[in-house]
Amino acid sequence: MSLPKNIEEISTNVRTALGSSTSLQFSDFRPLVGGAANYVFLGRLANPIPDDGIPTVIRDVAEAETLQAVGQCAEATNGLYCVRTPKLYLFSLEASTIVQEYLQDSINLKQYVLKYYEAHTPKDKQPQCFGIGDCLGRWLKNFHQFPELLSGKRQLFETLRTLAEEELKDDGSLQPRHGDYWSGNILIPDRAITDASSKIPMFVVDWEVVSLGMPVRDVGQMIAEMWMPKLFKGIDASEWLVSGFLAGYGSLDNDRAFRTAIHVGCHLAVIGGSVTGWGSPEDVTRVVSFGRDVIVKGHEKDMSWFRGGPWNQ
């Protein structure tokens, strides 16, 4: 996302507001991304916060209470990988800004897959991809069970909309959900994973739309986003990420599995057809058509289709 023309003015205002409402002083302060709904800045403290002294990210959104609560949810680990939320350092009500931990030299998981895994990904990459997906699935399962946050198919799509509305009326079925759990909101160090790699941290970020809802939407969104590099670019690593993610999250009963599939299909059909730069118009048509088929077969609960060739393309 490109930065707005007045970003320097915005940066100065945020830095000044933080300086006047807190004791924080920065030796370096620069914008990273933002402009649609919020802004993200990277600030290097002149006097590091007593902890590990790493740089921080400053966001102009009210995510502080969520980060504070979710920070109590145990991190997920599976040996090589560790998934958690960034630490919350400070919230300034006057500046309408929070200061949180920054994962140095990182990129998001979507960028990582496109950078480090080519089409026809070598099989020796399968264990690391499975491990990444597994750890992300474990973390999401923990989060969904976190108790503190609990206190020519027109007719078909109309039916699905009604079903979604009915689900939301049943408060007993609602659980905490991230609301935008996809590969673009997972930060991972920007370096190739090798056999000699030490524990690799991953951060779950962007908590501005967290809510109580149907957890299968988080699951479905992540599956769809992990799968798109395979559908558009032929990157086999996608399949291994999804397999690991599902293994880490754990089994779903048939009803939830098919509801998840419907969310996967909706995401592929809508987002796959609207995000530019993924592929040719023919590629987009193919992916959107595939998303449509996933929706239809999920609604029909056609297990044989999901176990067969079309789902494994």
pLDDT value, residue 102: 86
Express each pLDDT in 38-75 by its tens digit.
678 888 877 776 655 455 665 544 467 777 777 767 68
Q: Maximum Cα–Cα distance for the chain, whole Å?
A: 63
Map out the domains of the chain with their CATH numbers.
7-101 (3.30.200), 106-312 (3.90.1200)
Q: Alpha-carbon distance 150 to 173, whole Å?
A: 10
Distance of CA 110 to the CA centre of its chain: 9
From the list 76, 64, 72, the residue with the least C-alpha distance to 133 is 76
Express each pLDDT in 151-198 by its tens digit.
465 565 556 556 666 666 665 667 788 989 999 999 999 999 987 678
Token pair for 254:
């048939």
Tell me the sheet residues that pair with 97.
92
Task: Name the amino acid, one letter, at 40.
Answer: V
Tell me the sheet residues that pair with 92.
97
pTM assigned to the model: 0.83
Q: What is the mean pLDDT of residues 266-275?
A: 91
Paired sense of beta strands 81-84 and 200-204, if any: parallel
- Give CA separation, 231 vs 93, 142, 252, 305, in Å: 44, 29, 24, 17
